[in-house]
Amino acid sequence: MAVHDVSVPIRSEMPIYEGNPGVELERVSSIPDGAPANVSRLTLGVHTGTHVDAPLHFIEDGPGAEAIPLEALFGPAFVVDATAVAADSLGERELESLGIPAEAERVLLKTKNSALWARTDFTRDFIRLDGSGARFVIERGIRTIGIDYLSIGDQEAHRELLGAGVVPVEGLDLREIEPGPYTFVCFPLDVVGSDGGPARAVLIDP
């Protein structure tokens, strides 16, 4: 059984969505200073690296990260090859052209974004869903939709997906992953009242 880690490593020099908090790791207790153990403090935004959005992210009074349904984040998934899409956004027409299996409940989009993980700075030049793409996802009955950069879509897409109960997974690193079926495991931190949760995500070969 092959397990593929598709999470983005958390580090100080990594792409952070513009305006979001950066990453700080500070040793607050250390063995060389006489402490019995090393203890560190980690500061980061909840939308850092690989993470799952909660409805509260775009819906005021929406459920927080503690309400994200874990069953949507564990089970059969399809990695879909969207690297040839040249459009600026993934709308209904673009998604329809990808041949997403009709039975797919969890879909991970491998796009031209994957190359952006070679950078340490954030760029807005990435592909994402638009409103029509989000509605396509909802109409197809897809429960979980993931993408290989820091945002699943524009504001309209976020509101459509989160309002319909679809779980967006952002910040996946799919550079080394071949399209096809896998078992997907991705559990966000249970941060009560948060608009998102950092996560560790893996794909397991069938």
Distance CA 25, CA 199 (A): 17
Amino acid at 43: T
57 included as an active-site residue: yes
Active-site position among 4, 47, 51, 57: 57
Tokens of 58: 């775009």
The helix (run of H) or strand (run of E) holding residue 75 is: strand 74-81
Residues 139-151 as b/e (b if ≥16 CB within 10 A, e otherwise) read ebebbbbbbbbbb
Q: Quick one: which of 105, 2, 90, 10 has its CA closest to 50?
A: 10
Catalytic residues: 57
